[in-house]
Amino acid sequence: MTDPSLSQPDAFAFEGALAFTAGFADTATFVGADRVFCAHMTGNLVVFASEAARQSGPEEWLKLATFPVFVAAVVGTTSLTRASDGPVESTAIRRVLAVVALLFAASALLGAVPGSTSPGAARIGIVALLVLAMGIQNALHRLRPGLGAPTTVMTGNLTQWLTWLVTAHTADEKEKRRGLGLIILLFVTGCMLGALGVSRFGFASLGLPTMVALFARSRVRDARASS
């Protein structure tokens, strides 16, 4: 069922936009920050363990350092947005997405610093900002499941889409399958453009997902405006 803050067309646009930003951000840090994932904490743990086993340098500890930042983002978002007597309100969702866009914008500005894809303070700052953004985005879907499928990790979404490929028979089931397929496609598109953008323009290319995050925010109805 579509979240009441979103019409059906807006729900597809909202989820697709957030999937794009997640794919872009995750690939941007993987390519530009020596294989660090900003949304996929499991991947960071795997890469850190493999590099630590080969006695790599201290730069590899950046992957482990993403965990407390991610935890802070999830806990902070949960504490600040969830009402004591109900779910997150649509006005809070809009505020949260404004923060996500602001974090992307700050990352893009840091990305304009020469050498931001090389080891150093600028790169660490960019990774921290993007981990915060993706931690917030992860928390948002958990706090308000009606917003749709998770947009940061595609393993579960791909499994569900393949299951529906076999089992979907009704018009509603096929519509859900198409929507989930769009999320996966836009995540992959974000990954490709993230890799291309960072390779050619550095982290300044994060200006693109900044605008996409603002677009996602615009799809959510403001409860105060509609009341």
Give residue 1's pLDDT band: very low, low, confident or very high (50, 70, 90).
very low
Confidence at residue 55, expressed as pLDDT on a 0 to 100 scale: 65
pTM higher than the cut 0.75: yes
Domain assignment of residue 178, yes or no: yes
Q: Kindly report, residue by residue over 116-161, the tens digit of the pLDDT.
A: 889 889 999 999 999 999 999 999 888 887 778 888 889 889 998 9
- Counted domains in the chain: 1
Confidence at residue 84, expressed as pLDDT on a 0 to 100 scale: 47
Domain assignment of residue 165, yes or no: yes
Domain assignment of residue 39, yes or no: yes
Confidence at residue 109, expressed as pLDDT on a 0 to 100 scale: 97
Q: Kindly report, residue by residue over 83-123, the tens digit of the pLDDT.
A: 545 556 778 888 999 999 999 999 999 999 998 889 889 99
d(CA 175, CA 39): 27
For range 11-30, the mean pLDDT: 93
For range 31-46, the mean pLDDT: 87
Domain assignment of residue 2, yes or no: no
Confidence at residue 227, expressed as pLDDT on a 0 to 100 scale: 43
Angstrom distances, CA of residue 80 to CA of 89, 128, 130, 217: 12, 20, 19, 18
d(CA 81, CA 93): 8
Domain assignment of residue 3, yes or no: no
Query: Is 110 within 8 Å of 116 (Cβ atoms)?
Result: yes
Confidence at residue 79, expressed as pLDDT on a 0 to 100 scale: 86
Boundaries of domain holding 109: 8-226
For range 160-181, the mean pLDDT: 87
Confidence at residue 226, expressed as pLDDT on a 0 to 100 scale: 45
The enclosing domain of 17 has a CATH number of: 1.20.1250
Range of lowest pLDDT (59-63, 159-163, 176-180, 211-215): 59-63
Domain assignment of residue 19, yes or no: yes
d(CA 82, CA 13): 24
Angstrom distances, CA of residue 197 to CA of 25, 99, 112, 192: 11, 22, 13, 8
For range 160-167, the mean pLDDT: 90
Query: Is 216 within 8 Å of 14 (Cβ atoms)?
Result: yes
For range 187-215, the mean pLDDT: 96
Residue 23 has pLDDT above 70, yes or no: yes
